[in-house]
């Protein structure tokens, strides 16, 4: 199946590209997610117009993404999770949690753009990459704390 990408898709192509994909991938993921349109004769005729407007739009979006990256690099998020023995978390901090926390601070970031390889399952400080545009990535500081206060060291006399 041939599709025309409406958005950049990782490991597949950029907006405006005509790519050949498996039928199921196109029908079940790309088309319903509005990431692509079917590459029919009518749609192929429109592709040149789409590429020209996409080029103009990309310049504006990249500039906006660079500004947002500067703002996001200053953001610090803190999460508190329940912990057990040896600072083992019950639960984790996911890209959805980070997206919700960013939205609460006024940044609308899709959770799919948060490049978290796996959920954060330990206490500590992490720098999570957020892919805003093709070549623009911001890093958000995320701190995961336990729900128990750290025991103060006692000195025996």
Residue ranges and CATH numbers for the domains of the chain are 2-70 (3.40.5.10), 75-146 (3.10.430.100)
Which letter does DSSP use for residue 26 in this model?
A: I
With a cut of 70, which residues of the chain have pLDDT below it?
A: 148-157
The pTM of the whole model exceeds 0.95 = no
DSSP sequence for 111-127: GGGB--SS-EEESEEEE
pLDDT per position as a tens digit, 37-82: 888 888 877 777 777 777 888 888 888 888 888 888 888 999 888 8
Tokens representing 145 are 């704390």
User: What does the pLDDT read at residue 28?
Assistant: 94
């Amino acid at each position: 199946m041939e599709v025309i990408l409406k958005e950049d898709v990782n490991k597949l192509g950029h907006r405006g590209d005509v790519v050949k994909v498996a039928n199921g991938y196109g029908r079940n993921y790309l088309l319903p997610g509005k990431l692509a349109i079917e590459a029919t004769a009518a749609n192929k005729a429109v592709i040149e117009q789409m590429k020209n407007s996409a080029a103009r739009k990309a310049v504006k979006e990249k500039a906006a993404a660079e500004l947002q990256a500067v703002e996001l690099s200053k953001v610090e998020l803190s999460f508190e999770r329940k912990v057990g023995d040896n600072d083992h978390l019950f639960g984790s901090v996911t890209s959805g949690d980070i997206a919700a926390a960013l939205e609460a601070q006024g940044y609308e970031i899709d959770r799919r753009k948060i490049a978290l390889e796996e959920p954060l399952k330990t206490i500590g400080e992490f720098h999570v990459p957020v892919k805003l545009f093709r070549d623009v990535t911001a890093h958000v500081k995320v701190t995961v704390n336990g729900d128990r206060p750290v025991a103060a060291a006692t000195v025996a006399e």
